[in-house]
Chain A
Amino acid sequence: MKDTMHVAGIDIGSATSKAVILNNHKVMSTTIIETGPESQGSAESVMDETLRKSDLRLEDMKYIIATGYGRINVPFAAEVITEIACHAKGVHFLFPRARTILDMGGQDCKAIRIDDGGNHVAFSMNDKCAAGTGRFLEIMAGLLKVPIDEIGPLSLQATEETKISNICTVFAKSEVSRYLRRGVSKANIFGGLHAATADRVYGLLKRIGIDADFVISGGIAKNIGVVKRVEAKVDMHAYISEEPQYIGALGAALLAIERTSRT
């Protein structure tokens, strides 16, 4: 094997685009940007930025794998692989004993079971409704004018979780406004919203069966409010990496290494 072998993984999600460059299993650089209206444009900018950070050029990349919901719009990728496989791979690399993964992003939420080789052996996904997704929480954060990274901690201060009875994002929005006007605290409202989200994802997890170790990945993993509530529901500690949003891109890059080492 050569001493340097650069590969890249790129994850075009519905909310954010992420890229990771690896040199033999060592992370060279990472970037995260918001996914713009054009998946292809986002793919190019996130890649450029990541290359720039590690002073490399696209030609230096031995293999690039794209994943995420915009994966087909990455012209420079050699291969596309589903988010499910990439998250499985990425999580396995960071937490070799992980068996159950909850990956929550902007629009989708997936429960994945993996084996001891980091391969997914079962998975379930949310349906065609925005209820209880990352987008749902984002919209609510916007409505209550709380920065997205503060809603989780805030929700933990709830003295009583306000019951959110509407599953529809739009209806929940006005339900929340009504509570707000009635003087219910933002903490309690977020308590309720996070509980509702945790309930929905717990349903997905149950379908595949939950085994230790349990890992949460994707943007929502940064939301302590959801994490704590899901942990309580599954009655297990959830392992979370420092940068949970990169796991899909990392997994893609790891798979890229596998591809190149095979040939």
Chain B
Amino acid sequence: MLYGGIDIGAQSVKAVVFDGEKIIGNKSAVTEKEADAAAKEVFEDLLTDLQYQAQDVGKVFATGCGAGEVSFAVRKSSEQICAARGARWLVPTARTVVDLGAEGCRVMKLGPKGTMEDFANNVKCASGTGSSIELGAVYLKVPVDQMGPLSITADGVAEISSTCAVFAESVIISHIHNGESRERIAAGIHRAVATRVIELIGRVGLVGDAVIVGGAAMNSGLVKALEEMTGVSFRVPENPRTAIALGAAIQAFLKRDGGRNRKPFNR
């Protein structure tokens, strides 16, 4: 039997197919469609790639901000649990999990056996999320996937003091005007985001092996900033962006018989 996980993010839709022991396939796509249609499209594409039919898949769980709208998912599960499950599956010793997406940053603390014990996430303000980096990339005129490589080569850091993701623009512009190199500015952007992430990490406490997942985990510059500032190394699993969808698929597998829930989600 196969299990599906869908993660509807603020930016991209991710899908994973899982058989209870291994990942059969995963896919992520940036789409403009409505949650349900987007989920369908990505999931069907993935099945086609894998040469499976819809009926081969048992339960599908959805997570993310549009999870309630995915019609073919039997249940939704929270991003925190899914990120924790996915990361733990990818890195079996994981104790601290950071999930950094486009608009959300979540930090989960896991117990020795992998159960989630605590979590913290950003509230109301987008500074300290992937969008901050994207906005920065726009001003620096580089594609977002180049931000990491660019900042890694910096010989120092141009500090971005503004807390607002939008207003950081003017600080970045004045740095450019002051002749700061793009490398140093990129490093500054990563540091500013990392500072926010570390605040959240601090709320749950940094224990054991740390793992980072979500789209921004693909950004080596950010990971470097996090490592430098915490003195701890962060593991980046393969395909970090789909780790949350993987978690949803694992949830679908774990709850294949209904699970221990007192009450099904009704939304």
Contact = CB atoms under 8 A, between A and B. Distances in A.
B103 A170 contact: yes
Interface in A187-215: none
B251 interface: no
Interface string B112-140: 00000000000011100101100100000
Which 3 residue pairs are nearest across A and B when measured between Cβ atoms?
A: A170-B126, A130-B166, A38-B177
A174 B10 contact: yes
28 contacts: A14-B170, A37-B176, A37-B177, A38-B177, A69-B170, A107-B167, A107-B170, A128-B163, A128-B167, A129-B164, A130-B165, A130-B166, A130-B167, A135-B166, A135-B169, A139-B166, A166-B124, A167-B124, A168-B124, A168-B125, A168-B126, A169-B126, A170-B135, A170-B166, A171-B124, A174-B103, A178-B66, A182-B34
Contact of B103 (A69, A135, A139, A171): A171
A171 B163 contact: no
A129 B165 CA distance: 9
Contacts of B169: 135
A171 B124 CA distance: 8
In terms of DSSP, what is the predominant structure of the interface of chain B?
loop
B162 interface: yes
A39 B32 CA distance: 37
Interface string A101-139: 000000100000000000000000000111000011001
B33 interface: yes
Contacts of B174: 39
Interface in B3-40: 10, 32-34
A181 interface: yes
Contact of B32 (A169, A170, A181): A181
A181 B173 CA distance: 33
B34 A128 contact: no
Nearest to A139: B166
Contacts, number: 57
A107 B170 CA distance: 9
A170 B165 CA distance: 8
Contacts of A174: 10, 102-103
A178 B64 CA distance: 14
Interface of A: 14, 37-40, 69, 107, 128-130, 135-136, 139, 166-171, 174, 177-178, 181-182
A169 B177 contact: no
Contacts of A136: 166
A37 B164 CA distance: 19
Interface in B164-189: 164-167, 169-170, 173-174, 176-177
A129 to B, nearest CB: 5
A139 B176 CA distance: 21
A166 B103 CA distance: 12
Nearest to A130: B166
A171 B32 CA distance: 16
Given A37-B177, A168-B125, A169-B126, A181 B166 contact: no
Interface string B51-68: 000000000000000100
A135 B170 CA distance: 11
Given A167-B124, A169-B165, 17 more contacts: A37-B176, A107-B167, A107-B170, A129-B167, A130-B165, A136-B166, A139-B166, A168-B125, A169-B126, A170-B132, A170-B135, A170-B166, A171-B124, A174-B10, A177-B32, A181-B33, A181-B34
Nearest to A41: B177
Contacts of B66: 178
A13 to B, nearest CB: 11
A182 B16 CA distance: 26
Contact of B131 (A14, A37, A166, A170): A170
Contacts of B102: 174
Contacts of A177: 32
A168 B102 CA distance: 14
A170 B167 CA distance: 11
Most buried by B among A135, A136, A167, A181: A181
